[in-house]
Structure 1
Amino acid sequence: MTASITLPSPAKLNLFLHIVGRRPDGYHELQTLFQFLDYGDDITLTLSPGQPGVRLENPIAGVPDEDNLILRAAHALARKASGELPGVNISIEKRLPMGGGLGGGSSNAATTLLGLNHLWKLGLGLDELAEIGLTLGADVPVFVHGHAAFGEGVGEKLTPALPPEDWFLVLKPRCDIHTGKIFSAQGLTRDTPRIRIAPAFEGDASRYRNDCEDVVRRLYPEVNQGMEWLTQFGPARLTGTGACIFGRFPTESATRIIWESKPSGITGFVAKGVNISPLHQKLTELK
């Protein structure tokens, strides 16, 4: 049995995000297009047979254990298993900003689920792992399945998709955005007409948008300023409820030239869009 593995925990972008209704339970009905980036955190899982239990070696500042999706995922998976499991030590190299709309926490949960399923030799399928993941967050299933997808419902109803694998400049303005604040905002658009899957990949991309964007730009001047700067070079869009914004470009060299001219005081990165998650690529190599 492999004693230790290090796995990627990639970012995702919402290439568009339409809010098409609101459910009786208060959750919003969405239509969105998820794509992964070849950039993210790294999680190392190390078995410790002599020490039962799950330990996070470097807790994330400001996130109590009961809210940490890595620990919650590990404990949820352990409850599904039968028999005694070897202990595990988990460490994370964190690159993705919290509260950025890149799905960092959900991705961490999915990487933990798939990694421990591999190390513990549980043999659970992706559908079973995604079902566990959905109890942790609406975005976890897309990371578990590991394929770019058209998402509906609260984002958990997934249809595999193949958007162009372009290059992206991702910027993180200096602000943290609370998803609940955006989804409860009075001015939020909640009645965008539904689209069929096929047209989502055809024609003018400007037909699609992020319905959270106007509210976020109004409430967070830092996001508005970043959007105005990035729009000089082409269409810019918010991912999720933000705060990260992105621009799509055809080549790495063009993207990096723009990256070098970014305003001072703003962080971010350059990454390639990929339709198969780097996590799944790595797990395939381990088989």
Structure 2
Amino acid sequence: MELSSPAKINLWLRVLGRRSDGFHEVETRLCKIGIADTVQIDLLGSGNDVELTCNVPGIPLDESNLVMKALRAFEQKTRQTRSWRIHLEKRIPSGAGLGGGSSNAAVVLRAVNELCGNPLKLVDLLKIAGGIGADVPCFLLDTPAADGSGRGEQVTGVEFPWKLPLVLIKPAFPIPTPWAYQHWKDSKELRGVLYGPQICPWGEMVNGLERPVFEKYRLLPALKTWLLSQKGVTAALMSGSGSTMFAITKSGAEAGALAEEARRWCGETAWVQATETLSSIENPA
């Protein structure tokens, strides 16, 4: 099987507080976008050998990869093993807050279930996915958007009628998600930076993790302020725990123009892409 594995942005992410289990309670809306990896998976037969490859150097190919965690969780639940060949053709940068690894894990979970004759129902897959990572369950749903609660793993599919043009900008550095949550409680807002909700037809765009991340990575608040000052920009926000910033524009042409400006503003080390949100269950190009 060869499957598309889309990225996501968080249109909002509200951190409600630390839970007794050490995780944080959140409310978020995740929206799939038109940037995607490709996952190729082959069932080789009986056995327990797994060959995991990737086109991007530095991506871990051992048991720490979320794809391997998804496969092992499936094996444990079904009490059966197979031999697999899995290749990840990555276009979504890692450490970006775009859910690339989570999306890959969800795609592999659905694929191995199908190739093994669908022994598990969606509710079972969702439970497995929630144990792998908070963003994984949303990628199992066929809706273009999902609302997440709890750690983010309790998901409800959302129909999303908007096809929003946007620009993604990821600086050269990644941001570990655990670090952002660990520093959330004691972080402070920087003067002159917009943290409050940005009112849009699809909801109030806000991200509670901007506070700790902006305090340490000062390029990001400067980038958000710059984006909000640009022509045609409706809203700008950090996605997830960063380091990707995104700006929603009024038209695709304005997104393309903004991407060119952003490449000049950020320099050659930044990853910049113009794309759009998905408004149907069709796979991104």
TM-score (norm 2): 0.84
1:271 aligns with 2:271: no
Q: d(CA) in 1 for partners of 2:187 and 2:215?
A: 11
TM-superposed CA distance for 1:229, in Å, is 2.5
Partner of 2:191: none
1:69 aligns with 2:66: yes
Q: d(CA) in 2 for partners of 1:132 and 1:217?
A: 33
Change (3 A) 1:205 1:134: closer
Partner of 1:231: 228
Change (3 A) 1:204 1:276: closer
Instruction: Tell whether the 8 Å contact from 1:171 to 1:267 is kept in structure 2 after alignment.
Output: yes
Query: Where does structure 1 lack aligned partners over 5 or more consecutive residues?
Result: 190-199, 283-287
Partner of 1:108: 104
Instruction: Tell whether the 8 Å contact from 1:188 to 1:211 is kept in structure 2 after alignment.
Output: no
TM-superposed CA distance for 1:57, in Å, is 2.8
Change (3 A) 1:45 1:205: closer
Secondary structure in structure 1 of the residue aligned to 2:134: coil
1:155 aligns with 2:152: yes
1:175 aligns with 2:173: yes
Secondary structure in structure 2 of the residue aligned to 1:241: coil
TM-superposed CA distance for 1:46, in Å, is 1.4
Higher RCO, Cα 8 Å, sep 6+: 1
Q: d(CA) in 2 for partners of 1:95 and 1:21?
A: 33
Secondary structure in structure 2 of the residue aligned to 1:55: strand
Q: d(CA) in 2 for partners of 1:150 and 1:216?
A: 23
TM-superposed CA distance for 1:240, in Å, is 0.5
Give runs of aligned pairs for residues 137-286 of structure 1, distance below 5 A: 137-147=133-143, 148-163=145-160, 164-185=162-183, 186-188=185-187, 207-233=204-230, 234=233, 235-262=235-262, 263=265, 264-265=267-268, 266-278=270-282
Secondary structure in structure 2 of the residue aligned to 1:77: helix
Query: Where does structure 2 lack aligned partners over 5 or more consecutive residues?
Result: 189-196
Report how many aligned residue pairs link the two structures.
266
Q: d(CA) in 1 for partners of 2:279 and 2:25?
A: 24
Higher helix share: 1
TM-superposed CA distance for 1:109, in Å, is 0.4
Correspondence for 2:124 among 122, 125, 128: 128
1:26 aligns with 2:22: yes
Instruction: Tell whether the 8 Å contact from 2:54 to 2:90 is kept in structure 1 after alignment.
Output: no
Post-superposition Cα deviations, 1:44-101, rounded to whole Å, max 9, x if no partner, equal 0012227642220338615251211111111221223355x54210001111111100
Change (3 A) 1:208 1:86: closer
Instruction: Tell whether the 8 Å contact from 1:169 to 1:255 is kept in structure 2 after alignment.
Output: yes
Amino acid at match of 1:117: N
Post-superposition Cα deviations, 1:256-275, rounded to whole Å, max 9, x if no partner, equal 11112222222121222114
